Amino acid sequence: MNVYRTDEKPIWCPGCGLYGEIGSFVKALEELAIPNYLVSFVTGIGCSARAAGYANVYAVNGTHGESLPIAEGVKLANPELTVIDQGGDGDIWAIGAGHVPHAVRKNLDITLITCDNQVYALTKGQRSPTTAFFEDEEAAGGEPDQPLDPLHDMLAFMSTIKSGFVAQGISTKISHLAELIKKAIIYKGFSYVHVQTPCVTYNDPEWIKFKKEKAVYLEDGKEIILPNGEKIIYDSSDRRMALKITEVPLKERPYYGVIYQEKRRLIN
């Protein structure tokens, strides 16, 4: 048995993007070689929350929308622990959204991972706050209201206090996502990793294909071309540049990599 995995068999749907996400999470812990008894993994409610039963660390399966304050409490009670909170787009960005700006403001040394499949999958396919808006929303299954943009919103919160780490990956690229999770854990302060996690049951296959094939991978010092044709040399420490990236809707072009990182004094 892998030291960071339990022998529990996941009960996600065959092909679920969460298999790749938990694989990336475990790979990150392996490469960091953090003793599993010094890791606390907090989850809420939803498909992604089941991961608490598959990681061989100190896991807390909390209530819907409340995993973030639980994770903060764990870190304050034992600052020596590496604390990771994981939830879905509904768990973190709907019922739990009120906790997010305050977690950013407090800047505890914890990592928040959102597994975003743009749907309430466990409760059979209702639209979530991040369900993409499409002009032909009946045909495409899109949300008639404009969706939240977690990357842009998180960056806006962090900009006000000049702190934070924001990254985005996709669960089908396990090594790349593992590297982002590693960087987030290493970062001293509040860090956020947004994971595009395809849902094979409720996501349109073409939408899944688009997020995999049309992606741009960000690297510091590498030239990228924005949808408007503007060319920029990417710098993850440049907040204005990061805002330009997050202003591009996901349905136009997904960007994966470290979006932004800056340092500020920690509480603990």
Percent of the chain with pLDDT over 70: 93
Give the span between the Cα atoms of 22 and 112, in whole angstroms. Answer: 14
pLDDT tens for each residue of 57-73: 999 999 988 999 999 99
User: What integer pLDDT is reported at residue 132 of this predicted model?
Assistant: 78
- pLDDT of 141 > 70? The answer is no
Q: Which helix (H) or strand (E) holds 248?
A: none
Domains and CATH numbers, the chain: 18-262 (3.40.50.970)
pLDDT tens for each residue of 103-112: 999 999 999 9
pTM, entire model: 0.92
Percent of the chain with pLDDT over 90: 63
Q: DSSP string spanning 6-32?
A: -SPPP-SPTT-THHHHHHHHHHHHHHH
Q: Which amino acid is at 162?
A: K
Size of the chain, expressed as the number of residues it contains: 268
Q: Tell me which residue has tokens 């960056």.
A: 155
Using pLDDT thresholds of 50, 70 and 90, give the confidence band for residue 268: low
User: What integer pLDDT is reported at residue 204 of this predicted model?
Assistant: 86
What's the whole-number mean pLDDT along residues 18-22? 96
Collapsing DSSP to helix, strand or coil, 88 comes out as strand
User: What integer pLDDT is reported at residue 140 of this predicted model?
Assistant: 44
For residue 194, the cross-strand partners are: 114, 168
Token pair listed for 222: 């590498």
Give the span between the Cα atoms of 33 and 98, in whole angstroms. Answer: 33
More confident residue, 7 or 133: 7
More confident residue, 146 or 248: 248
Q: Tell me which residue has tokens 């929303």.
A: 137
- pLDDT of 133 > 90? The answer is no
Highest mean pLDDT among 152-156, 166-170, 223-227 belongs to 166-170
Q: Which amino acid is at 10?
A: P
What's the whole-number mean pLDDT along residues 133-160? 72
User: What integer pLDDT is reported at residue 1 of this predicted model?
Assistant: 53
